[in-house]
Amino acid sequence: MRAIFLGPPGSGKGTQAKLLAERMGVPAISTGDMLREAVRLETPLGLRAKAIMEAGELVPDDVVIGLIRERISRPDARGGFLLDGFPRTLPQVAALDRLLAGNGESLDAVINLLVPEATLVERMVGRAAIEGRSDDRPETVRERLRVYSEKTAPLIDHYGGRGIRIDVDGSGSIEEVSARIDRAAAMRAGGRS
């Protein structure tokens, strides 16, 4: 399975992608995790990305596309992968389509997590307190949600038009959301048989 997790910051994309990846035996690929690791290690990419991320903005496409190109070419991703945090813009969608087409592949599904904004803010501010993430301060959270609405929300309609989007209620416990994702994925797989 080659799939994308969509949803606003704090919707649980990363958690759910990792859990589904474990169940399916494919890698969960998080651009956010890759970028935070580069920041932590103070690599040239990390230093470039740090100020952008702390302002709540999106890291430039060329940087993120390069990370994804390298990561999906690794042997563990040949049987499929789950992307969390990419694509975030329509130009990134086009870049991903080109990368996959170059390998004779395509996306199987786009899992879109739906969560009310008040829940998102509560989750992210709580996560900032626990994990010490500078990109989850209240003012940065509001900016991240604004950027998501402006740049990433158009992907929801785009993938809906391609017939591969699966909307899943992202509210509730991790286990409840996982069960909803499994049911939706099973229904989609059954519909393609």
Complete domains list, the chain, with CATH:
2-192 (3.40.50.300)
- Catalytic residue of the set 69, 127, 142, 151: 127
pLDDT at 166 over 60: yes
Q: How far is CA 32 from the centre of its chain?
A: 8
Catalytic residue list contains 13 = yes
20-78 confidence digits (pLDDT tens)? 999 999 999 998 888 888 888 888 878 888 888 888 787 888 888 888 888 898 899 99
* Predicted TM-score of the model (pTM): 0.84
Q: Quick one: what percent of the chain has pLDDT higher than 70?
A: 95
Query: Which has the minimum average pLDDT: 2-11, 45-54, 149-158?
Result: 45-54
Q: What is the pLDDT of residue 193?
A: 42
Q: Residue 44, class by beta-carbon neighbours within 10 Å (0-12 exposed, 13-18 middle, 19+ buried)? A: exposed
Three-state DSSP state, 147: helix
List pLDDT tens digits, range 86-114.
998 899 999 999 999 998 999 999 999 99
In the predicted structure, residue 192 carries a pLDDT above the cut 80: no
For residue 35, the surrounding DSSP H or E stretch is helix 31-40
Any catalytic annotation for residue 74? Answer: no
pLDDT of residue 151: 86
7 or 138: whose pLDDT is higher?
7
Q: Could you tell me if 132 and 25 are in contact, meaning their C-beta atoms sit under 8 angstroms apart?
A: no
Q: Is 183 a catalytic residue?
A: no
Residue of 18, 48, 133, 188 marked catalytic: 133
